[in-house]
Structures are given as structure tokens and as C-alpha cells.
Amino acid sequence: MTDPRYVYNMTVKMFGPEAEPAFESEAQMTSLWGRNWGCDNDVGRLRVVLMHRPGAEFEVIDPTKRIAEIGSFGDPEAGWYWQSETIPPFAEMQAQHDALAQALRDEGVEVVTLDGVGGGRFKSCYTRDSAIAVRGGAIVCRLAARMRRGEEPVVSRTLANLGVPILRTVQGSGLMEGGSFAWINSRTAVVGRSIRVNEAGVAQVEDVLAKQGVEVIRVDLGGYDIHIDGAFVMIDVDLALVNAARLPYAFLERLRELGVRSIELNPDDAGWIVNCLAVRPGRVIMPQGASPATRSAFDRYGVDIVTLPYDAMQLNGGGIHCSTCPLIRDSVD
């Protein structure tokens, strides 16, 4: 009779645990999860992006609910607020969002959509904030504002249905929103701490990225600034578009140390210009309103731009970058 211990030992040797290749390796992703999910940069060719077309959730907005103190609209009891003095025609918002989605498809990007948005959560069209794509999957954020709380289950279900691994859900008292996260390169990311992002949230994102050898730089945003993508976005492998007036000098110096060149926003630029999206290295979709000086800088650096009207969507408090959550990008290493 064969010794059972011998059989077990042989079984372990032949079919035992395998730590390598790592979970987030392309081989494991494609063989087990169907696609090489995730991103390790903000400029590689964009393959899959998550979006949400404005829908019935906007019906909660009541233009009679004007709040003089904020010069806008809202209902403190219901928990919603509008972020601008003007509520644009809903059809115009939809048309601008549709044009952005089509521009992405024209670039060869697969556009996937959130499933099951409701409850008056009309900020859900800014999909950037609810999830962060990293190598091997995504981190589901925990949104700070009461009117956005509840977007997390929707994005979690959507990611699960797509087959995207969820590597972490920000929990406890952590606050994290994807608009305040950016890749600088495959080994370096930055998070803007602000009224929407606290240290507990940053630490949870950092915990995931540390296991992948990624350093997380913390930048404390000023005043009531919300997200770092209002002041910083990568547009090429070693080129960023920045609003230097809204970033600490130490961070601008760190970018130089990392070999990142910068195009600084001109005072004549519309404020949302920086909230643009690279679809591949040196090709950017951005809203209309760039100054001649900034356009000239793009030309000098060889950056191609596709411009779209997005002013109606911006009145809800988010731009082109905010409206897109990349799920797969090509590596640029």
C-alpha cells in the first residue's frame, strides 16, 4: 500500500500553490479575467472607458429651490445641490455628453456604461470619481459628499458585471474620489488631499499600490479645491498640463525631478481647459476655450487636440476628465 504522505507530497509538488505570475500580470489577467484590466499611466492608448449618460436621475433638480447664500440651487433636506448659477437645458447636457462618447469611439475607445443609476444621483455622470483603475483591476472609492454617497454600489455592480477585479473598496472613515488621483508614470502616482479626500482614504489606496511598487505622492490642495484634476493632468509620457497657481511649488519641483515637463495654463484660458483627457500619448480631447498661447504651447510640444463644447456639462461641476473613468490603457513603459 502506498504511503498517503508520499501521495500527498507528490500531489503538492505536481499541483501545489503557485504565487507567480502575479495576480496583475497580463498572463493572469487575460487567462482568468478575460482582459488585461487596469491602468498604470494616464496617457497610454485608451482602450476601455466607463461613462454615464445623464438620465432620469436629473429629475430631482428643482429650479424653484434657489439658495441665495450659495447663488445656486439645492435642497439641504433632500441633500442635493447644483454647482452653478445656471441650470442648462437637459437635452444640451445629453448632447454634449453624447459627443464626447462618440469622439472617444472615433479614437477606437470602447465605451462602457454604469448600470442602475438612480436615486437622484445626478453627479454619477462624473464617473472618474467612483473608481480608480490600477494594475489588475480597480479600487472603488468612497465619495465624500452626501449627495454622492450611494454611487459606490452602482460602480461595484458594473465592474463586477464587466469582469473587472475589485482590489479594494475604500472603507471605514476613509474618503477618496478618483478625480483627485493621477498617474505620473507607472511607478509614481499623486493624490490631492482636500475637502473630498482625507488621509484615511489615501492610505488605503497607497496600501494597494505599495504592493505593486508604486509611490504615492500627497499634495495638499488649497482652500476648498476639490480634485487635483482641476489643476494637473498628464497629456504625454513626460508632459503635463498644469494650473501652477493652484499647485504647491514643491509638487512642481517634484515633477521636474521626475523628468516631467509642464505646459502652464495661461490666465486667459477657460478654467476647465486643464480637465482634459489623453487618449494616447500626445493626443488630447479637451473642452473649447483654450487661449492662443496655450494652443501655441501644444503645437510646440507636438500635442494634437480634439476640442468639444462641454460648457453645459461643466455647469454641473465636472468636465471631460471628470466624465471618464479609464478601465484599460496600454502601458507606455
Q: Among 120, 172, 180, 178, which residue's Cα sits nearest to residue 150?
A: 120
pLDDT, mean over the chain: 96
Give the amino acid at 258: L
Is the pLDDT at 1 greater than 70? The verdict is no
Percentage of the chain lying above the pLDDT 70 cut: 99
The rounded radius of gyration (Å) of the Cα atoms in the chain is 21
Helices (H), 107-215: 151-162, 199-210
Is the pLDDT at 47 greater than 70? The verdict is yes
Is the pLDDT at 12 greater than 80? The verdict is no
- 159 confidence band (pLDDT: 50, 70, 90): very high
Domain boundaries, the chain: 35-329
What's the average model confidence in pLDDT over 199-224?
97
pLDDT of residue 7: 65
For residues 99 and 160, give the distance between their C-alpha atoms in angstroms, rounded to a whole number.
27
CATH fold, domain 35-329, is L-arginine/glycine Amidinotransferase; Chain A (3.75.10)
pLDDT of residue 198: 98
Provide the strand spans (E) within 96-228: 110-113, 131-134, 137-140, 166-169, 181-185, 188-193, 215-220
